A and B are shown apart, each in its own frame.
Chain A
Amino acid sequence: MDVYIKGFLIACQGIPTTVWVSLIAIVIGAAFGLLLALCSQTKSKILQVLAKIYVDVVRGTPMLVQALIMAYGVPWLLQSWGTGFKWANLVIPAIIVCGCNSAAYMSEIIRSGIQAVDKGQMEAARSLGMSHGMAMKLIIIPQAIRVILPAFANEFVTLIKETSVLGYVGVIEILRRGQLWNASSFETFPAYIGVALAYMILTIPLSKIINGYERKMARRESAR
């Protein structure tokens, strides 16, 4: 039994890295995703197409491949151009990749949230003399956020799990901790069970909170 507890505790040492990489990435993802969503809603065809291409490329490739390109491919390319570029810490490309990856999914979530807000809301805001941007900021986005909050939190849960690929680009997160311990102790089953449990103590409470929020919203909707 001790060996299982040890495996779990070792995996838990990776939790801080996993959590703060995920947190920074979800913030980047939300901000960049909002920008992408707004681009896809503008009248400018160029911005629409650029946003679409970005989303398609990111969603069409595995995050591990994106991480390898960013962590190793990009420095190689820059060095081949004669610069001495090197990532100061491999956590940096890891965060960039997770943020940019998440942005593609977030933009779709935000876009559907904006579209879920009744068309009359924009008309009412504009009829008061608000510009399109002001109406977005004061009227549409605050209402869209309520709609997308559960999907947003689900994306965070997904992102936490996806960061497990970052071990391959040199970030010592939960999975990597377990792998390293396995390599030195050969306690293979306890090592990976410990890793699984460490992810679960992050993701399951979050999922429960989301379910509670969704039930509360559903009750409020039906009370109207």
Chain B
Amino acid sequence: MSMIEVKGLCKSFGELEVLRGIDQNVDEGEVLCIVGPSGSGKSTMLRCINRLEEPTGGEIYIDGELITDRNVDQMRTKMGMVFQSFNLFPHKSVIENLTIGPVNVKKEDEGSAKERGMKLLERVGLAEKAEEYPRNLSGGQQQRVAIARALAMDPEVMLFDEPTSALDPEMVGEVLDVMKDLAKDGMTMVVVTHEMGFAKEVADKVIFMDGGVIVEQGTPDEVLSHPKEPRTQDFLSKVLV
């Protein structure tokens, strides 16, 4: 049973065709990594899955249910999203960042939301920062809070949009460790990334995108270590210096 089904996904910005018919399934518990040059459409694909971008064509099913304009808010609660630039709420403390979704969207009571929030902060190793404000945290810490915030909605799927690209190099590891933990716990994940090491180690499946289409897909070993397509080989030769 596929957790995410993408069928014939197309997206254009005016004249510019960014996605030209993407078909992709992600099974429950599977980790899918999307790699490719910038402008290849990989972030757009991820953003279309939770409708931050309105697709111009195609269908997306989560857990067998089609996403429509009517159910989009409810469907988004099933998908946690982690952004490149963290996007924590700066006017809320760390723990409030975690509870604001469950309390207002799921109508969970404040006490139990806070209790679950604290457990999630422990899980990402930031329990002692609960009362701090995001501006007092390092980039790596902010991104770990952002992951915990997404998990607080108890999603079935986690989407990561280049989660380490805005981080200083010494902070990349702590964020990837949290993501590896999640993968180990069986979370279904779609990760747009430039971290080839992470993809090799954690992904069940890797897709290489270029020019709005999936050029090559397979296991990390097939795509990243023994690519068949010239475009994939060319890209990898540039990133894996």
**Counting chain B CB atoms within 10 Å of each CB, which of A118, A127, A142, A224 scores highest?**
A127
Given known A139-B89, A142-B91, contact A126–B76 (CB-CB < 8 A): yes
Contacts of B68 in A (CB 8 A): none
In the complex, what residues of A have CB within 8 A of residue B79's CB?
127
B50 touches A134 (CB 8 A): no
Q: Is A124 an interface residue (CB 8 A)?
A: yes
A118 shortest CB reach to chain B, Å: 7
Give how many A-B residue pairs fall within 8 Å (CB-CB). Answer: 59
B135–A128 touching, CB < 8 Å: no
Q: Which chain A residues lie closer than 8 Å to B74 at the CB level?
A: 129
> With A123-B52, A128-B149 given, is the CB distance from A138 to B104 under 8 Å?
yes
B100 within 8 A of A: yes
B87 CB-CB contact with A under 8 Å? yes
Partner of A123, one of B80, B87, B135, B150: B87
Q: What chain A residues lie within 8 Å of B106 (beta carbons)?
A: 129
Q: Is the CB of B76 within 8 A of A129?
A: yes
A114-138 at interface with B (beta carbon < 8 Å): 118, 120-121, 123-131, 134, 138
| A143 close to chain B: CB less than 8 A | yes
In the complex, what residues of A have CB within 8 A of residue B73's CB? 126, 129-131
A43 at the interface (CB under 8 A from B): no
A146 contacts chain B at the CB level, 8 A cutoff: yes
Residues of A within 8 A of B85 (CB): 120
Answer whether residue B101 sits at the interface, using C-beta atoms and an 8 A cutoff.
Answer: yes
- Contacts A123-B52, A124-B83 given; indicate if A130 touches B101 (C-beta within 8 A): yes
Contact between A129 and B52, CB atoms less than 8 A apart: no
State whether the Cβ of B105 lies closer than 8 Å to any Cβ in chain A: yes
A interface secondary structure, majority: helix
Tell me the minimal C-beta distance from B78 to chain A in angstroms. 9
Taking the nearest CB of chain A, how far is it from the CB of B18, in angstroms?
17
Band of interface residues on B: 20 to 34
In the complex, the answer to whether A128 meets B83 with C-beta atoms within 8 Å is: no
Please state if A130 and B104 are interface contacts (CB–CB under 8 Å): yes
**What residues on B are CB-neighbors of A124 within 8 Å?**
81, 83, 87-89, 146
Asked if residues A123 and B83 are in contact (CB atoms below 8 Å), the reply is yes
Find chain A residues with CB under 8 A from B87 CB: 118, 120-121, 123-124
* B150: chain A residues within 8 A (beta carbon): 127-128
Contact of B77 among A120, A128, A146 (CB under 8 A): A128
Residue of A nearest to B82 (CB): A127
Across the interface, do A129 and B153 meet the contact criterion of CB distance under 8 Å? yes
In the complex the two chains form, what is the Cα distance from A139 to B73 in whole Å? 16
A128 touches B76 (CB 8 A): yes
CB distance from A177 to the nearest CB of B (A): 43
Q: Beta-carbon contacts of B64-103 to A below 8 Å, as 1s and 0s?
A: 0000000001101101110101011111000000001100
Beyond A120-B87, A128-B77, 6 additional contacts (C-beta under 8 Å) are A120-B83, A124-B146, A127-B79, A127-B150, A128-B76, A129-B101
Using CB atoms and an 8 Å cutoff, list the residues of chain B in contact with chain A: 50, 52, 73-74, 76-77, 79-81, 83, 85, 87-91, 100-101, 104-106, 135, 146, 149-150, 153
